[in-house]
Structure 1
């Protein structure tokens, strides 16, 4: 049976860590088959104390704590990779929690498919309060939602797992390198793109990526994350990240991304009209607003 390193890279999320720790405590596999790695990326609160208290109450869980003083999620993830001692590694968001059989399902998938190098699964939303009026299946990914159905399959280069629910054979990073530290979230800065860039390298190296619907993560959605101001900041950050990622590949790649953005504008207007006629104007209006904000980031608008 494979053993797996469970990596938590955290910045200022003390309110969510106890819930995540509890879901790890309840895992169905024996504790000798996983280790817990927490990378503290300059959190101002009591992150270390929370982790130490959890380990003191669960001394049979092998654990590693480390500080990463270079601000940025990619830096923290790369540090976690360097600390991992098991052949598999999964990255858990610090504002999420996992199903009780999550680690069991991840390990089972890797054992069932020995030619698999990376894995992703469902990410469901856990609302802390009311569901926003603009919520719809086309924008749920803003809140972390990811669901490709109930059947397993092999990913193609057109899609990839999302960061809240992704696992790898640890030696993959020896072959392709770690996360690009020029991309990804930095503190409160809502940039990203590092996961897409990483999986592009995985696909370029002809490595196999699998979708396992039974490996489920729950992403927490506080009310402040559903506000227009938060979505604006996140959308502009998405556009900025795409600008940086594509420009790093050359002006032609950036130009292609602008063409794709134009097509997305067309689809957005179609959806706006659909929701308007369906008497759900808030849903359509947010789709257009999101597209506008992404476009601003894509052409170089700063947050």
Structure 2
């Protein structure tokens, strides 16, 4: 049986035949200073084009001994299902989710392994990206590049747990922690389904890791190019991305409330309670976020509790950190 001390690169793709060639080419050019066990898994997520054939043909052009390669299928549409399929097939503990338009720098895999394997409290690791396209990148893109997972995720290398999220593009995680995070509680945010847009699934994953007591980390040594197709470089597409983020926020704020209640210093918890009590005395209504934080802190039933709130509450209580 293979050792779990290695890296599995997972590419989840839907109709990616036109994008995979350069993505695979950059992976084939990975450099290693030390022997490292690796595997590459392409998850074909219900594609209607020749994704599988193109992926196999492209990879067969390289004579590589440092990694195994296979293409598997996940017929259930949705990024979360594709990722879970890849995780289930992975032989190694450290996972890199590489989008089919991410061109990883030649030392990305080894650098990711060295960082995450060196600190058992890091559950997720992210890097920085630059945009590349087949057309001139429009002027408006600079102000919206974070919507496309482009740029630096922090000013410097280090702990970014307070940020509460990392981009899914190029993210590095631990298989064992991911499995625990989703074993009893499936994702509440389904991610991309074919050509449809939704958002927040990567943030949900990071918040679950945080509630479990782990940290998020950023390294400016992890670099990749993010290819942005022409049809995505439009104001309308950018607006659609923002709508997806807004919709996801309604669920993500519940995760955030649980995290801050469980991990905030006692001083902050007391401040939340005093503020709420004073508002009640002054007959001032609590704002939605204030009410949510207070009810979570005191363990009360949230007045407008819905299914998502109940599931997140159950997840928070189920983690070893909170038992």
Task: Give the shorter-chain TM-score range.
Answer: 0.7 to 0.9
Deviation at 1:130, TM superposition (A): 1.1
Q: How does 1:179-258 map to 2 (within 5 A)?
A: 180=187, 182-243=189-250, 245-246=252-253, 255-256=288-289
Does the CA contact (< 8 Å) of 1:130 and 1:223 recur in 2? no
1:22 and 2:22 correspond? no
Structure 1 or 2, whichever has the larger Rg, is 2
CA distance in 2, matches of 1:115, 1:245: 22
> Which residue in the other structure is 1:90 paired with?
96
> Which residue in the other structure is 1:65 paired with?
71
When structure 1 is superposed on structure 2, of 223-232 and 111-120 the one drifting more is 111-120
CA distance in 1, matches of 2:122, 2:254: 31
CA distance in 1, matches of 2:166, 2:28: 25
Deviation at 1:31, TM superposition (A): 8.0
> Which residue in the other structure is 1:4 paired with?
7
Deviation at 1:235, TM superposition (A): 2.1
Does the CA contact (< 8 Å) of 2:154 and 2:218 recur in 1? no
Change (3 A) 1:96 1:195: same
Q: Secondary structure of 2:208's partner?
A: helix
Note the aligned Cα RMSD (angstroms): 2.7
Deviations 1:120-172 (A, max 9, x none): 11122113211212133x41112221303563111224332101021112111
Does the CA contact (< 8 Å) of 1:189 and 1:237 recur in 2? no
Q: Secondary structure of 1:142's partner?
A: helix
Query: Which ranges in structure 2 are unaligned for 5 or more consecutive residues?
Result: 258-286, 291-323
Does the CA contact (< 8 Å) of 1:123 and 1:165 recur in 2? no
Number of residue equivalences: 254
TM-score (norm 2): 0.71
> Which residue in the other structure is 2:151 paired with?
146
Does the CA contact (< 8 Å) of 2:45 and 2:76 recur in 1? yes
CA distance in 2, matches of 1:244, 1:174: 21
CA distance in 1, matches of 2:112, 2:130: 17
CA distance in 1, matches of 2:126, 2:256: 26
Does the CA contact (< 8 Å) of 2:8 and 2:91 recur in 1? yes
Q: Secondary structure of 1:57's partner?
A: coil
TM-score (norm 1): 0.76
> Which residue in the other structure is 2:169 paired with?
164
Does the CA contact (< 8 Å) of 1:96 and 1:218 recur in 2? yes
> Which residue in the other structure is 2:122 paired with?
116
